[in-house]
Amino acid sequence: MSESEPSMPANLYPAAEEWQAVDRYFTSTLVGEDDALITARASGAETSMPNAEVAANQGAFLGLLAQIVGARRVLEFGTLAGYSTIWFARSVGEDGRVVTLELEADNAVIAETNFRTAAVADRIDTIVGPAAESAARLIDEGTEPFDLVFIDADKPSNSVYLAAAIELTRSGAVIVIDNVVRNGAVADADSTDPRVQGVRQVVNDLASNPELDATALQTVGEKGWDGLIIARRR
């Protein structure tokens, strides 16, 4: 990921100790993060965007959402170490498919090792290169429609990814966009951060598209103050 973004500190946003304690509580009680996921999370530190993977309880949420949707085919923009990819791969089941798009070949190598460790490599296609180009190729190939799309890559390209997601999904499909609050910066129309403007642009796209119902939720936790958009194709 991270095509033209200023670099971020490893710990992306400050997270209050209380928020972290609550994440630890729910993750230790409700979320079964096994050795493969723990290893995948740890290997995130070796990627070009250290520690950007979703929290364990967020990964579990994404996995549950895929199951609630009955998703058999999931498309992900932004693989990094493949942490969320593994949650999706487990949710789609043996006959399901996850296609994950990653800019950096070195990240993809790390992710594919994690997919083998998690015993889900056979249901994941990792496509290396600029995600906009990879998605355009999937559209050209007339690939089978996806049931759920997770957009979690370079934020300035959110709009491009949403447009591709619309082309690549069926009616009723769910589209989730990560990191849409950015420590509250999203509410600043004058922000000069291209990542914030990337979020605001995709919010405009969603708001003006009558084919999509959408909402956004703020989250706090070990990832600090952030949030996600959930949209559904009519």
8 binds, among Mg ion, ligand DHB, none (CB under 5 to 8 A by kind): ligand DHB
CB 41 within 8 A of CB 83: yes
CB of 232 to ligand DHB, least distance (A): 22
> Contact between 12 and ligand DHB (CB under 6 A)?
yes
- CA end-to-end distance (rounded Å), the chain: 29
Q: Which residue type, as a one-letter code, is found at position 183?
A: N
> Contact between 216 and ligand DHB (CB under 6 A)?
no
Q: Give 12 or 127: the residue with its C-beta nearer to ligand DHB.
A: 12
100 binds, among Mg ion, ligand DHB, none (CB under 5 to 8 A by kind): none
Enumerate binding residues for Mg ion (CB under 5 A): 152, 178-179
> Contact between 222 and ligand DHB (CB under 6 A)?
no
Query: What is the rounded CA–CA span in Å between residue 95 and residue 73?
Result: 9
Q: Give 96 or 227: the residue with its C-beta nearer to ligand DHB.
A: 227
Residues 6+ apart with CB under 8 A from 207: 214
Place of tokens 């997770």: 150
Query: What is the rounded CA–CA span in Å between residue 77 and residue 80?
Result: 10
Size of the site for ligand DHB (CB under 6 A): 9
Tell me which residues in 117-156 interact with ligand DHB (CB under 6 A).
152, 155
Query: What is the rounded CA–CA span in Å between residue 227 and residue 15?
Result: 13
Chain residues in the site for ligand DHB (CB under 6 A): 5, 8, 12, 52, 152, 155, 178-179, 195
